[in-house]
Amino acid sequence: MDDAASQPEPLAETATALFSWHVEQGARMVDFAGWQMPIQYTSIVQEHEATRNNVTLFDVSHMGRLRFNGHGAGMLLDRLLTRQVSDMPVGQVRYSLICNHDGGILDDVLVYHLETPSGTRYFLLVVNASNRDKILNWIAAQWPDEAAVELCDRTLETSMLAIQGPHAIATVSPLLSTNIANLKYFNAKVTNQMNKPCIVSRTGYTGEDGVELILREDQTIHILQNILASGRQFGITPAGLGARDTLRLEAAMPLYGHELDEKITPLEAGLAFAISWTNTNGDTRDFIGCEALTEIKHNGQQRQRIGLLIDGKRVGREGYAVLANGQEVGMITSGTFSPTLQRPIAMAYVEQQFAELGQILEVDIRGTSVPATVSNLPFYKRTK
């Protein structure tokens, strides 16, 4: 009975600046990686369709925001990340992975190269909420002896809002001192909202056009009200983590803890585009995990991430076995009923020889074998 003293303290749940607002909107709140987050306000399908057809607002303040200052930042990040980032022009954003020495994925991240109004350049790393502590510890362990770099965890001092959907740009444009209609996909800028600094990027996790804003925590409610007022003409509504999950699944974007973990390599995950094997001079790059990944690239991989279109209406969910001729050949990592396609979709890892497009496999849905076809990813692609 005295064990209590020796047990680790439970992670204190953290509330974003919008916690009370979510509750006032009638959101169902859940614990996500230690954060109290809205899973849905009305219905996942309604919020999903509002994102595809109009515009929605997501509170994504739980994501970790790590700022790297100093002229050594690019070199440190080049060592930590599978992708070269020191060559990024100011204003660019890149998707990258952080791997361990075995080539297993520690996190998937967005890297921003930014410049303050006074001309100071820095890098910003947006990491998964569930991995923030792990990544901070990992970076500390890799810290070079004479690093001309300073790391600031800006997660609690800032908020992050995603405005997503065909009317996202028209909603946000009038509020910023920058013309974001010209901001290209995966570009970002330090700008102002009502004379308060904020970062705007044309990024998102929904498969739609949209932006993400990073702003001072104490400005969140204020900016939220401005966004809602500006988006009212388009019928803007809030959307929760439930819709975020179905949207990203249709867009085939991997989610850490599901499609990605420390036992999965970027090659198996189909994310080879996020590896720079050589630097801009053509020399072989020396990033953490590159030796293991080079070997796997040379020898071939065992399994691959695939998409599945499942017959019928029952959803193949995470952990369900994927079968070929009754033999288990893989496992589903995420599955849902696609609101856009009106049928069950899933992502899975299967043995390499079963990953061919059009291959008919089966999913074991609670004891029943249901036919499923290996499908092109993404399941949904917006028309530009």
Partner 1 sequence: MNTEELLYCDTHEWVFVSEQDGQKIATVGISAFAVEQLTDLVYMELPSVGAAVTAGEEFGEVESVKAVSPLYSPVTGQVTMVNDGLPDNLDVLNTDPYNAGWIMKVAISQDLPNNLLDHAAYQRQCGEAS
Which positions touch partner 1 (CB under 8 A)?
40, 43-45, 242, 246, 312-315, 317, 336-337, 339, 344, 366
Nearer to partner 1, 89 or 319 (CB): 319
C-beta of 48 vs 65, nearer to partner 1: 48
Shortest distance (Å) from residue 43 CB to partner 1: 5
Handedness of CA 330, 333, 339, 340 (dihedral sign): negative
Contacts of 237 by beta carbon, 8 Å cutoff, 6+ apart: 41, 42, 46, 47, 50, 54, 56, 57
Tokens describing residue 364: 């074991």
Least distance from C-beta 163 to partner 1, angstroms? 23
Q: How near is the Cβ of 382 to partner 1 at its closest, in Å? A: 20
In the complex with partner 1, the residue whose CB is nearer, 171 or 336, is 336
State the Cα–Cα distance between residues 185 and 187, nearest whole angstrom: 6
Tokens found for residue 44: 């996942």
Cβ 210 to partner 1 shortest distance, Å: 21
Min dist. Cβ of residue 315 to partner 1 (A): 6
Contact 334, 380 (CB under 8 A): no
Nearest Cα to Cα of residue 227 among 164, 177, 163: 163
For partner 1, give the closer residue by CB, 32 or 337.
Answer: 337
Minimum distance from residue 313 beta carbon to partner 1 (Å): 4
Q: What share of the chain is helix, strand, coil (3-state, %, to 5)?
A: 25, 35, 40
| 304: β partners | 350
Nearer to partner 1, 42 or 130 (CB): 42
Residue 18 near residue 62, CB atoms below 8 Å: no
Complex with partner 1: residue 26 or 144, whichever CB lies closer:
26
